[in-house]
Amino acid sequence: MTDTAPSTPNLASTARGLTYDVVVVGGGAAGLSTAASILKRRGGITLAIIEPSGSHFYQPGWTLVGGGVFRQSQTRRSEKKLIPPGADWVQAAATGFEPEANLVHLSNGSSIRYEVLVVATGLTLDWDAIEGLGETLGRNGVTSNYRYDLAPYTWQMVQTLGRGNAVFTQPPMPIKCAGAPQKAMYLACDAWRRRGLADNINVSFHTATPGLFGVKEFVPPLMDYINRYHIDLCLKSNLTKVDGKGRIATFENVAQDGSKTTSEVEFDMLHVVPPQRAPDVIRNSALAGEGGWVSVDPATLRHTKFANVFALGDVAGTSNAKTAAAVRVQAPVVAVNVLATLDHKPAVADYDGYGACPLTVERGKIVLAEFAYGGKLAPTLPTWLLNGRKPTHLAWFLKEWVMPVLYWDGMLRGHELMVAPHKIGTPR
């Protein structure tokens, strides 16, 4: 059932001529968290959230749906019920930006003017970049935890596959939650091991990246599981074509000398992660920088050209991991810097690139990778309590029970437990 909401702001907002102190483009994790943080600090300002979807999804939970741990319904809620008090929800999509004129153009034909703009559109999953994928997704054994409607099919395939070839893929970076392609694989392997089917199923992991994980400290524990599950690890191997009916996946492989070859792999189950890019509305705007992402200062998250524009989350042109954990730290930083901008003051807080990836290596254990810019380790808890370089039951408990509550009832509501914005110039 699709949630409904007014397509225009409330009457008071209309009387202001569609001009707001703050306009937030995107009502996902980044947009809602930032809006809530801003309004908790200063309730009297006018703020609009531009978001076309009537549903909000807890995307980190889709891995657990695909692993048979969560129900699909646990990851979806009404967008309307998550809009923070004091904000107007404009249920439309942004179709263009005029930062020189402080304008956002909308799919409903209207435009909104802002004093400060926050861009939190997320990214685009480019399913069409892989030939033949679109017509076979959700059948012929082809699935992906990167879609709400497909994650249950992943678990269905894991439950019904008794023998054959299971192939898991990862596209070139950047992607959201870079560990998710592996998470799906490890949970599947663990389920097959528990059912005594490990020897019947050949598992391969084809990743376009040159290594298993981008932060070297976490590679050894992950390699332990690659070896434990007898996974064929294929580096620099990028999925380019899928023949669903023929059950053939085609890969482009890059050798050490840079030469390229093509290989075909038969599959009975294929878990695909699509290439990902900045949305066209961003790529084709004056806000875009390298790669089409919003060009921002990596510390303040302020646009490099337009001082009254900020960006965070997956669409920001920063080198941090694109995860909900990163957004949780970014949102308070953007919130206080937005308010400083409204007061005609310089940015007051900075972001260190923190991101986290809870790598579900088996049911009940997780390698909790936490790191900042440059791959610097950034554990939240002391190592005597939780050692992120080892698989732990505590990390699984946090993933299954604590993080969803922290997301729905904390982060999206503007509650900033253990993520107070770091003031520029003070020690960390």
Q: Which residues are catalytic?
A: 177, 357
Q: List the end-to-end C-alpha distance of the chain, in Å, as a whole number.
A: 46
CB 104 within 8 Å of CB 23: yes
Residue type, position 150, single letter: L
Tell me if the bond preceding 9 is cis, omega within 30° of 0: no
Instruction: Count Cβ atoms below 10 Å from residue 413 Cβ, excluding itself.
Output: 17
Residue 288 C-alpha from the chain's centroid: 19
Q: Measured between alpha carbons, how far is 175 from 151 in angstroms, rounded to an integer?
A: 18
CB 145 within 8 Å of CB 151: yes
Quote the tokens at residue 315: 């669409």
The angle subtended at Cα 68 by Cα 277 and Cα 221, nearest 5°, is 70
CB 178 within 8 Å of CB 357: yes
- From residue 120, alpha-carbon distances to 26, 35, 115, 257, 427 in Å are 5, 11, 16, 39, 28
CB 129 within 8 Å of CB 275: yes
What's phi and psi for 337, nearest 5 deg? -75, -35
Residue type, position 264, single letter: E
